[in-house]
Amino acid sequence: MTSENEKPAATPRVIEAFDIGQIMNAIPHRYPMLLVDRVVDMVLGESCTGIKNVTINENFFQGHFPSMPVMPGVLIIECMAQTAAVLVVTTLGPDWQGKLVYFMTIENAKFRKPVVPGDQMRVEVVKQRQRGNIWKFSAEAKVDGKVVAEATYAAMILDR
């Protein structure tokens, strides 16, 4: 119960789904570097869950590795960053759409299991803190509910 002088805590704004068109409006990435197919859950300013459907048609599988296709770890990290970028831009509002988000740090990256064609990767990002235009996140990538990769990273959002 709140007193007359206290304001009730604001309820975080939850967005249940973002399709590919909304993702492309939010971030400037395009094929072959757009790595988020859908956002299935977002709490503005707090967290976001993105989906990457991994198919054999991905251009990187031609060389990584032709006889045993495995999604490169750096692209899993990039998918985490793009999911976070959608959260940042959506939180900040329409004036920030299409702005560039640059990595500043990547820490404690761990790759636990290969991601292969046919997998659906669920990327869960959580904001740890934000100061000005610098945001820090922790993220996990999961396939079938099992963590395949994790990392902590910071990024800066800038004009082009």
Catalytic residues: 64
Q: Between vectors from CA 132 to CA 99 and to CA 153, what angle results, nearest 5°? A: 75
| DSSP result, 43-110 | ETTTEEEEEEE--TT-GGGGTS-TTS----HHHHHHHHHHHHHHHHHHHH-GGGTT-EEEEEEEEEEE
